């Protein structure tokens, strides 16, 4: 299994770009640590209940908790040459170290860490306009990806919500946590020769195409 890490601030488009790649590149899967946690909260698992308040404050859940969830997820995947994008994990240097053991245990190799670089004003614009369908999970943006009827999901016709952690005060906190705890990962992967920066201020489709264009190069380099 080939692993691609998506590194970037909240709102940098990691999830959107990874979903586009999963829809366009054969054998490409993606898993979002945030989505795994939100599912756990929704289904009231022990981990979900333990993580709920931390997520709502925009802080990071304990390294062990999320590493165990990602480890379990990867264990369930076929042992083949397909590609899996990790969207939102690792987010601390401790998690990056835990990932190394997870990869070894699953006979998986790390191809690259793709760093999606977006200026702060663009991040704030994206995060504050983000809306979510509570039923099907579809994402919208009030200016750039509005639903057909304001405030309603196109598919489910239920009212869209703002994620608790997309409230203005929490957005500030998430960006601060990102600076303090996740930015050091850039140097961590750069030192290993495994970091590629992508300008991600524009369209997600362009970023996905740029990453898709580098996949075979990374596969060859890590073979
Ligand atoms: P995201 O959907 O990636 O923005 O994640 C939403 C929230 O889930 C984050 O603000 C954190 O509270 C939590 N979370 C997601 N991934 C991680 C991680 N790798 N480590 C710790 N907390 C995480």
Could you tell me the CA-to-CA distances from 44 to 38, 40, 60, 161 in Å, in that order?
A: 10, 6, 18, 20
pLDDT tens column, 51-64: 999 998 889 999 99
**Which residues have a Cβ under 8 Å from the Cβ of 118 and sit 6 or more positions away?**
8, 9, 11, 12, 13, 126, 200, 201
Tell me, in angstroms, the distance from the centre of ligand 1 to residue 216's CA. Answer: 29
Q: Judge contact between 110 and 222, C-beta under 8 A.
A: yes
Q: Report d(CA 143, CA 130) in Å as an integer.
A: 9
At 152 the pLDDT is 97
| Enzyme catalytic residues | 14, 91, 130, 163, 174
Beta carbon of 33 within 6 Å of any ligand 1 atom: yes
Q: Give nearest CA residue, ligand 1 atom 15.
A: 34
pLDDT greater than 80 at residue 223 = no
- Euclidean distance between the first and the last CA atom of the chain, given in angstroms as a whole number: 12
Q: Is the pTM of this model over 0.85?
A: yes
Beta carbon of 61 within 6 Å of any ligand 1 atom: yes
At 113 the pLDDT is 98
Q: Give nearest CA residue, ligand 1 atom 3.
A: 34
Beta carbon of 165 within 6 Å of any ligand 1 atom: yes
pLDDT greater than 80 at residue 136 = yes
At 168 the pLDDT is 86
10-24, 103-117, 147-161, 163-177: which range is least confident on average? 163-177
């Amino acid at each position: 299994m080939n692993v691609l890490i998506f590194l970037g601030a909240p709102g940098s488009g990691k999830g959107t770009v990874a979903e586009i790649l999963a829809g366009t590149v054969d054998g490409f899967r993606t898993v979002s640590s945030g989505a795994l946690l939100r599912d756990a909260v929704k289904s009231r698992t022990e981990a979900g209940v333990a993580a709920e308040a931390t997520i709502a404050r925009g802080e990071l859940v304990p390294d062990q908790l999320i590493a165990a969830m990602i480890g379990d997820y990867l264990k369930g995947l076929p042992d083949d040459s397909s590609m899996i994008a990790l969207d939102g994990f690792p987010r601390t240097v401790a998690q990056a170290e835990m990932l190394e053991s997870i990869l070894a245990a699953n006979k998986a190799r790390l191809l690259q860490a793709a760093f999606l670089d977006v200026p702060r004003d663009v991040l704030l614009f994206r995060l504050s306009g983000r809306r979510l369908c509570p039923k099907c999970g579809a994402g919208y943006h009030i200016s750039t990806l509005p639903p057909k009827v304001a405030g309603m999901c196109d598919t489910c016709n239920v009212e869209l919500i703002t994620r608790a952690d997309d409230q203005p005060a929490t957005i500030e906190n998430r960006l601060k946590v990102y600076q303090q705890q996740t930015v050091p990962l850039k140097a961590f992967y750069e030192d290993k020769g495994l970091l590629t920066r992508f300008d991600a201020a524009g369209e997600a489709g362009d970023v996905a195409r740029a990453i898709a264009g580098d996949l075979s190069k990374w596969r060859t380099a890590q073979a």
